[in-house]
Amino acid sequence: MMRLSTPGHARFSQANQFEVTFGGAEANAAVMIAQLGGDASFVTRLPNNPLGDRTVRELAARSVRTDHIVRGGDRLGLYFVEQGASQRPSQVLYDRTQSAIAQAQENDFDWTQILAGAAWFHWSGITPALSNHLPGIVANACAAARANGSKISFDMNFRAKLWNAAAAGKILAPMVRDLDLCVCGVEEARSVFHLNGGSPSDMARQLRDQFGARCVAIPQREAATAGRTLWCAALFVDGSEYRSRTYELEIVDRIGAGDAFTGALLFAMRRGSAPQEIIDFAAAAAALKHTIPGDFALVTLSEVEATAAGGKGGRVQR
Amino acid sequence: MMRLSTPGHARFSQANQFEVTFGGAEANAAVMIAQLGGDASFVTRLPNNPLGDRTVRELAARSVRTDHIVRGGDRLGLYFVEQGASQRPSQVLYDRTQSAIAQAQENDFDWTQILAGAAWFHWSGITPALSNHLPGIVANACAAARANGSKISFDMNFRAKLWNAAAAGKILAPMVRDLDLCVCGVEEARSVFHLNGGSPSDMARQLRDQFGARCVAIPQREAATAGRTLWCAALFVDGSEYRSRTYELEIVDRIGAGDAFTGALLFAMRRGSAPQEIIDFAAAAAALKHTIPGDFALVTLSEVEATAAGGKGGRVQR
Amino acid sequence: MMRLSTPGHARFSQANQFEVTFGGAEANAAVMIAQLGGDASFVTRLPNNPLGDRTVRELAARSVRTDHIVRGGDRLGLYFVEQGASQRPSQVLYDRTQSAIAQAQENDFDWTQILAGAAWFHWSGITPALSNHLPGIVANACAAARANGSKISFDMNFRAKLWNAAAAGKILAPMVRDLDLCVCGVEEARSVFHLNGGSPSDMARQLRDQFGARCVAIPQREAATAGRTLWCAALFVDGSEYRSRTYELEIVDRIGAGDAFTGALLFAMRRGSAPQEIIDFAAAAAALKHTIPGDFALVTLSEVEATAAGGKGGRVQR
Amino acid sequence: MMRLSTPGHARFSQANQFEVTFGGAEANAAVMIAQLGGDASFVTRLPNNPLGDRTVRELAARSVRTDHIVRGGDRLGLYFVEQGASQRPSQVLYDRTQSAIAQAQENDFDWTQILAGAAWFHWSGITPALSNHLPGIVANACAAARANGSKISFDMNFRAKLWNAAAAGKILAPMVRDLDLCVCGVEEARSVFHLNGGSPSDMARQLRDQFGARCVAIPQREAATAGRTLWCAALFVDGSEYRSRTYELEIVDRIGAGDAFTGALLFAMRRGSAPQEIIDFAAAAAALKHTIPGDFALVTLSEVEATAAGGKGGRVQR
Amino acid sequence: MMRLSTPGHARFSQANQFEVTFGGAEANAAVMIAQLGGDASFVTRLPNNPLGDRTVRELAARSVRTDHIVRGGDRLGLYFVEQGASQRPSQVLYDRTQSAIAQAQENDFDWTQILAGAAWFHWSGITPALSNHLPGIVANACAAARANGSKISFDMNFRAKLWNAAAAGKILAPMVRDLDLCVCGVEEARSVFHLNGGSPSDMARQLRDQFGARCVAIPQREAATAGRTLWCAALFVDGSEYRSRTYELEIVDRIGAGDAFTGALLFAMRRGSAPQEIIDFAAAAAALKHTIPGDFALVTLSEVEATAAGGKGGRVQR
Amino acid sequence: MMRLSTPGHARFSQANQFEVTFGGAEANAAVMIAQLGGDASFVTRLPNNPLGDRTVRELAARSVRTDHIVRGGDRLGLYFVEQGASQRPSQVLYDRTQSAIAQAQENDFDWTQILAGAAWFHWSGITPALSNHLPGIVANACAAARANGSKISFDMNFRAKLWNAAAAGKILAPMVRDLDLCVCGVEEARSVFHLNGGSPSDMARQLRDQFGARCVAIPQREAATAGRTLWCAALFVDGSEYRSRTYELEIVDRIGAGDAFTGALLFAMRRGSAPQEIIDFAAAAAALKHTIPGDFALVTLSEVEATAAGGKGGRVQR
């Protein structure tokens, strides 16, 4: 998607320019992986017009492979962002009606070929919300992934402006099975999947037991305004819980932080880090994303590692 | 529509900001009339979201009445503009799929009430291109206008990116009848309506004879690059031809110049000017529009009159 | 007034651009009311030049009625704003000498006609500071309001760069009588009106007893730097005190927050809310104004209500 | 003065930022001289506020001496500029009412001391338009200059928005005597001084005979739109006429071109160039000024000489 | 190189921002080829720092292969650009001292491996000017190209700010032999290689006879200011001359136009076009480059073909 | 140096513009002194090109004397700044290789003449890091200062990207003797000079005893992220310690805060303030610098005094 953001803290009703960047849940995760030095390919459908071309180039510039992107359809999905401040929340206005991906058909994607050799297939809960065809397309991809020996990761990303929790639960519940990684907030698990309890470990247990999720990662945001937040995360593997430190963050742009978290989780799992290292690394990536304008987590491996190791940002690097 | 323009001469593939302005053929004509001191009401359908609200406010700020705008639908129509230069033409990329107006139904508009007391009803050939329902909606409006005693004006505005000439001709030909003003380029008349001949007067005659157009205005652009053009226009009334002077223009932004021309024609006809005055005035308005960023012709009555009277722009007003 | 602000945190001595917005105490209150869906008309005098025209349009775009604005005079009042940060306070530099409103004469305004049907007349303590004629003009307006059955509200807004406290007190004391609403800070009440005591309730009592103010609203700002502040307010009605919660605010632009407070008070009083609701609503409006660039409180009724209901801004609306 | 310009070709009614630069007729001439390596001191009165401070610094940054600038008064003179294009002329909106210099009194300036050692005293016809005191102040300066042995130069700079031609003629005619250099356009000479004839040499002769102008320089602008112009100038010395070549100019910003011309004339006369060299040099400076944003002619001696020698600008310097 | 350009027509002495783009003669030619759909790899040496990383990404985003870029060295080469206007020429200020490529050693590049499978090796006359080692490095590349069966193309690009014509001629003459394509201006050929005569055909003949250039392409710029120029080119193959039409161009940014010409020549030769088609195509590419900000020719194959076919840019594509 | 900063919080990998400002340790201290009304001359070597000219003008605009700046050399030193946020530290990327000052030779500066009449000579530990010649050049300056009766001040400013602590210690230790003022952080003293202990007073004692520093000033930064910090400082004179209050700062731009501290120390010492006043004043200056974009501390004497007196910034000055 192309993201059109009001500059500074301007409201939609007053902005005379929009900043042009690019993003989307799975794209952001792919960029995170590529930034860290991993190999990531982004699969979507984009229109055959200059905005579609631009989107491909923006991903290529961040070293994401784009050779499985299908071209066609009427329009590029857009979303408008108004950065909040203090007590005023940020606003996202989706404009994805009849976007190229929303118009996609099952036979647009040959998943067996796309996923050949892929270690992981990652999808988010946003995609099935975009059309009637997309749940089937994603299900096909999951089936091909399993057949192919690829692991599967899922990030809930429930968006109330795209569908309601009941609809989401009905569509997603049958799709979310046999996951190697499930990323899901406590509140989303409760509202979409009707899980009980209030703690991350409550949710992780049920996601494992009911949905077969082998690893569960749960991000937590607390005491937040639009400008400041506490942020931490927990990873649940083999019945154990691993918690990151809690970051106290001044927010530049929090959109994409969850996707950076997921991307960094996948990167760290793929390189075989220990669970505590994985969650520390992924939380550091998410923390840093809050400081970067745009959806993409434009940080390097060494920056994430320095933050995970306790760097606080207070010293000018010179 | 919201218009998103790359700044300066940047291409879509390189712009990192878009300028946000508002426009559209009929809206531009309405703004022109209101800028000149006339009374204009803009009728459309806009979504119930912050971008729809913003569009209403932008029109209100230019003194166009907005009380007949219907609210509802999924999204605001957008269009992207890349300003050309020299041999590189400007590009317009429409993004109007499933816009609120494209989703409009016949019963969204009570034309009898909307047009009560209106001296003129103006529509452009773009509108019927946007959906299957819109030709009927416009036809209803024309019928109500005739019943109501309002005059009708039509501006061809053929857009090859919205439909092809054959489709346009088929839809428009039955709608374009009994016009009090018809604005149409020579080439459009040929391709859409299959008229013969090459001169403005050839076209004007046929538009009168075949389509019942009482007044015909024909703008002409020659020797143009993206940065410079010759521009003039002719008005055909009661069998006589009235020509404006030919302007040699350095172009800042030519989008909306035709709409300014039409708006100024309507304003001048409404105040009862003589034909030569009308065409001189409207051509001056169109010439000035070429110098103003955005779709709207942000000029005053006295500025148009000064240009029509021969002002060349070379003297700083101080 | 036109407001010219340095971008970001740039100082006057380094800025190469000024952001152009519009504001002023009463205009801001009017915009707040109109944003909330109320009916507000702004009365002032503006020059007959493009900057005066622009000011009218900016108000119209925010749905404020402008038909009682008188046109004439030499120049538009300006003010320059330099946003502070942390320990460096924001600076306002007034440039209102010989502005159109400062040149106004008593007979420029026919208050009986202007106030016909008005539920409220609101004025601020800034206006009488601008010329020798303005105290009389405002007094005429108050008299017409009383004759007309309009309620009267007054916001102190003492500005040390326009006059000193002694002069202000001398001019304002006789004008401030029989008020339906008086908005005044503790410190202003002490310095301008020589009231005693240190608490809001001390001040409210004296404003009621000495000046006949039926309702008194007292905003309080504490522990503030240029970037962060605590903010709350109290309303005194019929001998009772109603306090808002205390907001801990990260400041984008606090200019106009007091005017948003007053406008929201008037709106809530006009719709007949209970006192606790009124102060909660108005405090929420003031809190939100701190997050918006420019003088105008560009928020909606539902946003104010959501904040009043406890929304903290930490959740992206998507 | 501080100059506030709309960016690009934006109109006053649409600009959301103003570019901040500094200028004014005599200041521009002083900057031109300093840019060329000459010694120039600018004399005016500026307010004791951050905008006054800034103005001093901007001149100092261009190597103009500022030690004779008097500080005091209410406000800085401003002017707003809207760049025209093609048939739309540029607009200047003066906002100089009650500026510090307009409030100046005769005893603010000790001209004998200020002009000690000065080779030239230069003034423009704008200054006496600003207040009732300024004609006397300028007359004092001229008297001191003559007493002191300084030469005197005068640039007409008639501004219709400041006064009318009749008023200007009445004030200026007695002041304009015994000049070492008089810069005046043909049309100005006709309207303000009621001179006869239509050619530069007609005017030069009368300015010499009636006003005692030893050298007369006459700039000429032809065939101009807001974006393109022909520009040339003639110098009349000792009964001979010396003409520059005619420049065909694409205009970036023509404000200040006349002042650059005058400054370069003074510089070249001061270094003792021959008349043909003087007019060639000064015309080249004026031509280059048309290409530079802002009032100041930010060019170097070698650049002016290269242009005077025939450089056409078509070769990238690399 | 990173290019830092003053915005609009601002001078170095006044710009407060620099636009950041990327370019350089061979990089620009590579981008042109990749934009047209060809396969191009850019070979250079870039520092291991964020600016080096950025440069790689900018090329990747334009589909240029970057896998042969060597990383190391102290700094990224920079150049500063000030856009001229009218009579004021554009300025380029090189800042390439001790850039990573200037510090390169012969053994940094394994040309046999780099050029394996390459149809063409292209180099420009700028590169040998940057250090004492670079002539040898380029000579190694040429030798490897010949051994490898790659064709060789050379673009003179004489830069007076890097070396003088005598030094250039001494270094380049022995390197420029056995070329499949030689691009060289008439004046460069005269000053650097001491060729005689004044016409393109004179030069082409001598370049063929003395330097063994099989094809010679000669661009010509005439009647140019910084804002407008005539531009055409001629191609000499097998004793015949093929001329493009002459473009009358309004210049947005002409830097890189020559490189676009060369890149388009190589692309068209590689796809086996006929000589007239080749020169028409390459001239159209160069013409379009004049309209695009930055060094890179961000145009598509179909745009170049449309311009070569006579498109004048005067029609908005909508 | 010219400083090129990414706007807002943009990273090097995404910025499309750089903000252009000027700075450098000693220049910043000189500007601080001049801003406060003191007399400061900046000595360096700058290239003879437009960027060198610009640097001189920027200093002149801030009232720093520039007559001892030597002109010559290949290039202007640059540095790139990426503003961090929260946990992401700010990045400085030096680009000073072969800058004009790094190429300076001993005989470029006649220190006896330069320092004639100077009350103080100030240098920072950055300068000797820039070339092999600079330690000798600085040593010459120190010798001339001592011969001349000027006091000497030294600010450590250790920069790990320019040299390592061991190299710094080896070069600086013999140069740092007989100082009238030594500004040095605790950690720098430990790593560069191998001093023991952890408190400011430990360090101050050893700097006095081992290096003959008569006054020692030690700034302290704690609990810092890129956006917030605690900041205080201590001054050690005649065996006593004087501490400033601790500022809790929201950071706009902290680069140059240490230099503002040193400049304000020198200013306050020069005007003979008492030690507690000196440290309070200098700490206030440093605190305010954190709020100002760019290296220069653009504050006035009265602003520093108001902050030193306890002003917290929370009140708009109007």
pLDDT tens digits, B222-251? 988 999 999 999 999 999 999 999 999 999
Q: Which of B108, B155, B253, B259 is catalytic?
A: B259
Active-site residue flag, E155: no
- pLDDT at site B224: 86
Chain mean pLDDT for chain C: 97
Give chain C positions within 8 Å (CB) of F318.
91-92, 94, 159-161
pLDDT tens for each residue of B186-209: 999 999 999 998 899 999 999 999
The answer to whether the beta carbons of residues F34 and F40 sit under 8 Å apart is yes
Give C-chain residues touching F303 at CB under 8 angstroms. Answer: 88
Whether B85 maps to a domain, the answer reads no
CA distance F243 to chain D (A): 32
Q: Which residues of C touch F313 (CB under 8 A)?
A: 84-89, 224-227
Please, are residues F38 and F268 in contact by the beta-carbon 8 Å criterion? no
Q: Give the integer Cα–Cα distance in Å for B83 and B94.
A: 14
Q: Are F7 and A290 in contact (CB under 8 A)?
A: no
What is the number of CB-based contacts under 8 A between chain D and chain F?
14
pLDDT bracket for residue A198 (50, 70, 90): confident
| Cα gap D113→D98, rounded to integer Å | 26
Q: Which of E251, E293, E313 is facing B84, going by the closest CB pair? A: E313
Task: Mark which residues 34-63 of A lie under 8 Å from E by CB.
Answer: 57-58, 60-63
User: Which residues from chain E sit within 8 angstroms of residue B88, using beta carbons?
Assistant: 288, 291-292, 299, 303, 307, 313
Chain F residues with CB-CB distance to C11 below 8 A: 292, 298
Average pLDDT of the residues in D128-140:
97
Contact E259, E29 (CB under 8 A): yes
Q: How far is A165 from chain F (nearest CA, A)?
A: 34
Residue with tokens 């310690």: F241
Cβ separation D89–B250 shorter than 8 A:
no
Q: Tell me, yes or no, if F83 comes closer than 8 A to chain C by beta carbon.
A: no
E22 vs B: CB within 8 A:
no
Q: Cβ distance C95 to D77 under 8 Å?
A: no
Residue A20 lies in a domain: no
Strands (E), chain B: 2-5, 17-22, 45-46, 70-71, 78-82, 91-95, 120-124, 151-155, 181-183, 215-222, 228-237, 240-243, 247-250
Residue with tokens 């849940």: A25
**How high is the mean pLDDT of chain A?**
97
Residue B109 pLDDT exceeds 90: yes
Mutation for testing the F interface, residue in D22, D57, D296 having most F CBs under 10 Å: D57
Residue E263: inside a domain, yes or no?
yes
- Nearest chain A residue (CA) to F253: A316
Catalytic residue among C180, C253, C259, C280: C259
Q: Is residue D85 very low, low, confident or very high in pLDDT (cuts 50, 70, 90)?
A: very high
Q: Identify the helix (H) or strand (E) that includes residue F303.
A: helix F301-308
The tens digit of pLDDT for each residue in C140-184 reads 999 999 999 999 999 999 999 999 999 999 999 999 999 999 999
Is pLDDT of A311 > 90? Answer: no
- pLDDT tens digits along A216-259: 999 999 988 999 999 999 999 999 999 999 999 999 999 999 99
In terms of residue numbers, what domain contains A268?
A: 26-44+59-69+110-308
Across the interface, do D60 and F61 touch by the CB < 8 Å criterion?
yes
As a whole number, mean pLDDT of residues E271-287 equals: 98
Chains that touch F (3 or more CB pairs under 8 A): A, C, D, E
Split chain F (318 residues) into runs of 10 and give each run's mean pLDDT: 97 98 98 98 98 98 97 98 96 97 97 97 97 98 97 97 96 95 96 93 95 96 93 97 97 97 98 98 98 98 97 90
* H helices present in C89-223, as ranges: 111-114, 134-148, 165-175, 186-193, 200-211
F288 touches chain C (CB under 8 A): yes
How many Å apart are CA B249 and CA B291, to the nearest integer? 8
Q: Which residues of A are catalytic?
A: 259
**Contact assignment for C60 to B58 by CB distance below 8 Å:** no
Whether B311 shows a pLDDT value over 90: the answer reads no
Q: What number of C-beta contacts closer than 8 Å exist between C and F?
A: 86
State chain B's mean pLDDT as an integer: 97
Q: Nearest residue on chain E to F15, judged by CA atoms?
A: E20
CATH number, domain containing residue A32 = 3.40.1190.20
Q: Which residue of A has its CA nearest to C296?
A: A14
Cβ of E143 under 8 Å from any chain A Cβ? no
Burial call A220-240: b when 16+ CB within 10 Å, e when fewer: bbeebbbbbbebbbbbbbeee
Residue F253 in any domain: the answer is: yes
Number of alpha helices (DSSP H) and beta strands (DSSP E) in chain A: 10, 13
Question: Would you call D310 an interface residue with chain E, using a CB distance cutoff of 8 Å?
Answer: no
Point out the residue among D53, D76, D80 whose CB comes nearest to the CB of C13: D53
Among A189-193, B99-103, E196-200, the minimum mean pLDDT is found in: E196-200
Q: For residue B19, is it within any domain?
A: no
Q: What is the pLDDT of residue F198?
A: 86
pLDDT in tens, D155-203: 999 999 999 999 999 999 999 999 999 999 999 999 999 999 889 999 9
Secondary structure letter of residue D266 according to DSSP: H
Cβ contact F247–C159 (<8 Å) = no
Q: If pLDDT is split at 50, 70 and 90, which confidence band does C249 have?
A: very high
Chain A residue whose CA is closest to B80:
A51
Say what the pLDDT of residue B272 is. 97
To the nearest whole angstrom, how far is the Cα of E57 from the nearest Cα of chain F? 9
Distance CA F33, CA F281 (A): 12
Note the pLDDT of residue F278: 98
Beta strand C45-46 with D151-155 is unpaired
Instruction: Give pLDDT, residue E242.
Output: 98
Which of D293, D299, D313 lies closest to E86 in CB terms? D313
As a whole number of angstroms, the distance between CA B180 and CA C214 comes to 62
Contact flag E62-A57 (C-beta cutoff 8 Å): yes
Long-range contacts of B233-236 (CB under 8 A, 24+ apart): B233/B261, B233/B279, B233/B282, B233/B283, B233/B286, B234/B200, B234/B201, B234/B204, B234/B279, B235/B265, B235/B275, B235/B278, B235/B279, B235/B282, B236/B200, B236/B201, B236/B204, B236/B205, B236/B208
Give residues with Cβ within 8 angstroms of A186, minimum separation 6: A198, A199, A200, A202, A203, A218, A220
Contact at CB, F51 and E20, closer than 8 angstroms: no
Is a pLDDT exceeding 90 seen at residue C197? Answer: no
Active-site position among D155, D180, D259, D295: D259
Q: Where are the alpha helices (DSSP H) in chain C?
A: 25-35, 50-61, 111-114, 134-148, 165-175, 186-193, 200-211, 257-270, 275-289, 301-308
Whether pLDDT at D224 is above 90: no
pLDDT score, position C305? 98
Sign of torsion, CA D265 D270 D275 D277?
negative
Q: How many CB atoms lie within 10 A of CB C209?
A: 10
Residue D17 lies in a domain: no
- Report CB contact under 8 Å: A288, F87: yes
Contact D17 C15 (CB under 8 A): no
- Would you state the pLDDT for residue D311? 87
Q: Is the predicted ipTM greater than 0.90, yes or no? A: yes
E132 contacts: CB under 8 Å, gap ≥ 6: none
* pLDDT tops 90 at residue E84: yes
Note whether B175 and B152 are within 8 A (CB).
Answer: no
User: Is there a domain that residue E220 lies in?
Assistant: yes
Identify the closest residue of chain E to D286 by CA–CA distance.
Answer: E87
Bin A125: left if φ > 0, else alpha if -120 < ψ < 50, else beta: alpha
Q: Tens digits of per-residue pLDDT, A51-104?
A: 999 999 999 999 999 999 999 999 999 999 999 999 999 999 999 999 999 999
Residues E221/E272, Cβ–Cβ less than 8 Å: no
C90 contacts F292? CB cut-off 8 A? no
Specify if C8 maps to a domain.
no
The answer, for A80 touching chain C at a CB cutoff of 8 Å, is no
Distance CA A218, CA C20 (A): 45
Tally of domains within chain A? 1
**Band (E77; pLDDT cuts 50, 70, 90):** very high
Cross-chain residue pair A311–F89, CB shorter than 8 Å: yes
How far is F45 from E19, CA to CA, in rounded Å?
Answer: 27
pLDDT category, E311, cuts 50, 70, 90? confident
Phi, then psi, of A205 in degrees rounded to 5: -60, -45
